[in-house]
Amino acid sequence: MTRPRAILWLSVFVLGSTSIPAWAHSPLSGSLEERISILLGAAILSIFWIFYILGSVRRAAPVWHPIFFHVAMLLSFFAVVGPLDEWAETSTTAHMIQHMLFMVVIAPLWVLSSPLSQLVAGGGRWLVSCWTPFLRLPRHPMLTAYLHGLTVWFWHTPRFYQLALDNPWWHVVEHGMFLLTAGLFWWAVLQGKRRNVHWSLFALLLTLMHTGFLGALLTFAQAPLYGESRSLEDQQLAGLIMWVPGAVPYLLAAAWVGYRWFRDIYRNTGATD
């Protein structure tokens, strides 16, 4: 990435990170714990973004990679400190939209941007130690699918769902677990080795099935599962969002992985002929 382009993206970062909180709920309102947790989340995202921009100056990336990354970062700020986060405190639908943004939009965009080289170049080799323990997991698509599935069901059980709503620190942990496990899952699926293509398709099928089942449970429930303060209609809409629109990214990913698989088979067959 050239220096003028880096300056352009740095300007986008400054505008994005300062304007979103301006029309969202203010980090200076609410309890002390809420203020600190919001500011901490925004700070982590900001550092992550700055490292990438600085690294892009030193190590260029294909043109689409920075676009994917910066769109994901803007959506992350919107989900964490935007009005959606405030709405999610009282609406199951908004909370579900927030979760789906993390799991099926932001995480795959980060993976598609392949940001590791730029993050290392911008933040130093010490960053490698942060993700080294996780580097082996994407070699096993089904393992990442299991980890991500356990995370999804854990935080959608009524007890822990309510815990994340009542305690801002657990809310931060919840978001972090969604992003981490979803990132590993999409990395294994979208950036996996060719020999693991069949496992990637199985992982996508498994995730599509159990998230759809969870969405159907919420949709057809006859009583509110997350407290009487949330209406049944709100919960049913949230389940429908997880069930139907939430399935689209998995179907698109399966089509893409399958297409690459058949393309490689065709090329190998043509080479042998």
Entry pTM: 0.86
Summarised one tens digit per residue, pLDDT across range 6-28 is: 444 444 444 454 444 444 454 55
Neighbour tally for 117: CB within 10 Å = 15
What is the rounded CA–CA span in Å between residue 213 and residue 104? Answer: 16
Q: Name the residue with higher pLDDT: 178 or 58.
A: 178
- Please tell me the predicted confidence (pLDDT) of residue 272: 54
What is the secondary structure of 162-197 as a DSSP string?
HHHHH-HHHHHHHHHHHHHHHHHHHHHHHS--GGGH
State the Cα–Cα distance between residues 204 and 128, nearest whole angstrom. Answer: 28
pLDDT at 5 over 70: no
At residue 241, the pLDDT reads 96
Lowest-confidence region among 54-68, 78-92, 127-141, 178-192? 127-141
**How far apart are the C-alpha atoms of 108 and 11, rounded to whole Å?**
24
pLDDT 10s digits, 238-253: 999 999 999 999 999 9
Specify the pLDDT at position 21: 45
Burial of 2 (0-12, 13-18, 19+ CB in 10 A): exposed
